[in-house]
Amino acid sequence: MGKQVPFTYSNHTILLEIPNTTSINEHAYRILDQWQLPVFVFPKLQEALRLFFNEQIQIAADETTQSAVEPIINGQVEIQTILDQWFKLVQECKTYIHHQERPSDEQIFSNAFQNVLGTNYEILLQLEYVYQSEIEDMLKQRDKQLQELDAKFEQNF
């Protein structure tokens, strides 16, 4: 479960959960109904909700990242373990998204060679960047699909 964050619009306030799976349109309709707002404020309310969720999701992501990185900075987690986990996750993500087969022998050798030479933060950051790029592509595809579904939904009503 996420955390409850107050959203204020006009002189009204409501607690919304972050992260949230309910669409912005659904939130806007519910708030219009609950606060008995006029329909003409709907576009501005939608935009306010969109900005609110973007900001709060970024804050939540920053907090999650900080809590994940803190043990590494303090030396409580072994970097080699993280590198192995990241490599495995990146390969799984690539396989899932692009329907690729297992990594080539060159990739396996390259990873093993880097591990033999010793770990440093640069490798961890490179792996993190690759993983982040893959996730970003997935999220863009998801957002595009959601926008298409929203457009279809709005056309039907």
Structural domain ending residue among the three candidates 44, 74, 104? 74
pLDDT digits (tens, 9 = 90+) for 107-144: 887 877 677 666 566 676 688 888 999 999 999 999 99
Please tell me whether residues 64 and 99 are part of one structural domain: no
Please tell me whether residues 4 and 62 are part of one structural domain: yes
Task: Give the global pTM.
Answer: 0.49
pLDDT digits (tens, 9 = 90+) for 4-33: 999 999 899 999 998 888 999 999 999 999
- Domain count of the fold of the chain: 2
Share of residues in the chain with pLDDT > 90 (%) = 45
- What the block records as the tokens of 5 is 């964050």
| Beta-carbon contacts of residue 105 (< 8 Å; ≥ 6 apart) | none
Structural domain ending residue among the three candidates 74, 89, 104? 74
Please tell me whether residues 2 and 68 are part of one structural domain: yes
Q: Which domain holds residue 29?
A: 1-74
Q: Helices (DSSP H) in the chain: which residue ranges?
A: 24-35, 42-73, 79-98, 105-117, 121-156
Please tell me whether residues 121 and 65 are part of one structural domain: no
